[in-house]
Amino acid sequence: MPFTVSLKKFLSIFFETLSVITFCAVIILLILQVLFRYVFRVSVPWTEELARYFTIWMVYLGAALAYNDDDHIKIDFFIKKFKNKILIKFVEYLEMVVISIFALSLWLGALLLVEVGMRDWASTLPIQMGWVYLALPVSLIIIIVFIILKSLTHSFDNLKVKEYRIEKN
């Protein structure tokens, strides 16, 4: 198994585990909120706020995983119309466009958002909002890494096919 495939698999399992942990944290926090409010008759506002922050992280990690698994929303009308070689080149081109857009978004917007967020604090928790906003650049970086690994894997596969054809002749 090539290094890119094993790294992609490791990263996928790692971020899936993080997503499951954040999902479980959201469930536990919401159960605690219900228990405190209706059983103990005490309003605890930090549970709702922390659940919201975990949900933000869960969504952005899930978006990166959906991109990795090719489960994101897409329009495949043109993909079905192209021939195989044209389709591969078109998809490679689109992946480079996506990397460029994400890298630009990361550089111009997401890192600035985190920097500004570090000056702001959550209303009920001693957490700087930059840590919550960090979910966006982390997700963008994960998607960029997954695209690069996917491209490298396809390049290695194409190289193996060419080597096989040369050896066969």
Mean pLDDT along residues 119-143: 92
Closest among 105, 107, 104, 134 to 118, alpha carbons compared: 134
Q: Which domain, by its residues, includes 93?
A: 3-168
Confidence of residue 128 (pLDDT cuts 50, 70, 90): very high
Q: Which residues of 126-146 are buried (b: 16+ CB within 10 A; e: fewer)?
A: eebbbebbbbbbbbbebbbbb
pLDDT tens-digit map of 5-30: 888 899 999 999 999 999 999 999 99
What is the structure's pLDDT at 164? 46
How many domains are contained in the chain? 1
